[in-house]
C-alpha cells in the first residue's frame, strides 16, 4: 500500500511540475509576442520601401512607353519628309483643322509600330478598365499629351538642340472643361505661356514627378517646375525657340520659324 507520505510527495511533485510547465508556457508566449512585435516593426519599415519599389517599376514602364512613342515618331518623320505628325496644320494661332476634323497625333503612328498599350501609363488610373470619368471610354483614352508646338506642320530639321525640347507630357486627370478637358484631350499649347496650359498635364504622377519625352527620343522624369524654369521662353522646355521666337499672343497668328530656317540652310 502507498502511504500518505508517499501520496503527498507525488502530489507535491505534480504541483511542482505544473508550476514549471506554467512558467515555461508563459515564457514561450512572451517570446512569441516579442517575435510578432519585431515582425510588425520590420513590416512597417519594409512596406513603404516595397511600395516605392513598385511605384519606381511603374515609372520605368511609363518611360519605356515613351521611348516606344519616340521610335514611332522618328519612323513617321523619316517617312514623311521630316514632318512631325500634324494635328491642326496651318500656323500657330491659325490652324487648318479644328476638332472634330483633327487627326490625333497617335493615330498617325499606328502604321509605324505604335500600339495602344504603349499609350497607357500603369500609374494612370484613367486608362484602367472600369474608369468612368470623362466622355471617352478607357480604351479610347491615352496617358500622354502632344506638345502643340509640333502639331502645326513642324519639321525636325529646324531643331538645333532637340534634346532640350519636350514633345510628350503626361496627361492631366481633370474632367472640367467639356470636350477640351484634359481627361479627353490629346494635346496642350506649348507655344503659349505655361500658365495657359499647365493644368492640362499632370505634375505628380510618379512620386512628385512626371515623365517627359524629348524631341531627340530620350525620356526623363522631372518635377514640373524644372521643365518650365522661370517660365521665360529661354528656360521653358515645352517652348521650342527654334520654331518661334516668343510666346504666341491670342490676337496674332504666327507662322513657325521652321520654314525660314529650313529654306535658309539650303541657300548657298
* Residue-range domain boundaries for the chain: 64-264
Instruction: State residue 157's pLDDT score.
Output: 96
pLDDT at 209 over 90: yes
- List pLDDT tens digits, range 225-241: 999 999 999 999 999 99
> Scanning the structure block, which residue is given the C-alpha cell 525640347?
165
**Mean pLDDT (whole number) for 126-152:** 83
Q: Which of 11-25, 37-51, 146-160, 188-202 has the lowest mean pLDDT?
A: 11-25
Among 185, 181, 149, smallest CA distance to 258 is for: 149
- What pLDDT is stored for residue 252 in this prediction? 46
Q: What pLDDT is recorded for position 207?
A: 87
pLDDT band at 34 (very low <50, low <70, confident <90, very high): confident
In this structure, the strands spanning 187-188 and 144-147 are: parallel
Most confident of 12-21, 101-110, 134-143, 220-229: 220-229
What pLDDT, on the 0 to 100 scale, is given for residue 27? 59
The arrangement of strands across the sheet holding 187-188 comes to 187-188, 144-147, 166-170, 210-214, 219-222
pLDDT higher than 60, residue 254: no
Amino acid at each position: 500500500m502507498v502511504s500518505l507520505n508517499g501520496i503527498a510527495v507525488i502530489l507535491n511533485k505534480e504541483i511542482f511540475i505544473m508550476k514549471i510547465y506554467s512558467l515555461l508556457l508563459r515564457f514561450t508566449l512572451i517570446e512569441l509576442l516579442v517575435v510578432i512585435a519585431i515582425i510588425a516593426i520590420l513590416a512597417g519599415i519594409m512596406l513603404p520601401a516595397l511600395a516605392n519599389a513598385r511605384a519606381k517599376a511603374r515609372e520605368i514602364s511609363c518611360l519605356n512607353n515613351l521611348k516606344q512613342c519616340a521610335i514611332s515618331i522618328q519612323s513617321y518623320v523619316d517617312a514623311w519628309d521630316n514632318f512631325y505628325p500634324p494635328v491642326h496644320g496651318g500656323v500657330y494661332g491659325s490652324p487648318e483643322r479644328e476638332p472634330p476634323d483633327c487627326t490625333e497625333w497617335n493615330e498617325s503612328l499606328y502604321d509605324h509600330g505604335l500600339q495602344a498599350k504603349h499609350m497607357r501609363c500603369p500609374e494612370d488610373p484613367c486608362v484602367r478598365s472600369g474608369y468612368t470619368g470623362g466622355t471617352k471610354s478607357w480604351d479610347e483614352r491615352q496617358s500622354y499629351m502632344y506638345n502643340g508646338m509640333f502639331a502645326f506642320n513642324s519639321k525636325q530639321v529646324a531643331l538645333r538642340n532637340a534634346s532640350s525640347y519636350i514633345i510628350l507630357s503626361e496627361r492631366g486627370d481633370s474632367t472640367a472643361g467639356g470636350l477640351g478637358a484634359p481627361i479627353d484631350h490629346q494635346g496642350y499649347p506649348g507655344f503659349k505661356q505655361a500658365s495657359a496650359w499647365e493644368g492640362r498635364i499632370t505634375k505628380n504622377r510618379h512620386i512628385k514627378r512626371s515623365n517627359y519625352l524629348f524631341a531627340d527620343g530620350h525620356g526623363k522624369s522631372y518635377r514640373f517646375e524644372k521643365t518650365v524654369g522661370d517660365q521665360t521662353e529661354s528656360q521653358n522646355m515645352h517652348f521650342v525657340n527654334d520654331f518661334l521666337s516668343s510666346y504666341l499672343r491670342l490676337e496674332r497668328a504666327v507662322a513657325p520659324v521652321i520654314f525660314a530656317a529650313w529654306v535658309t540652310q539650303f541657300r548657298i
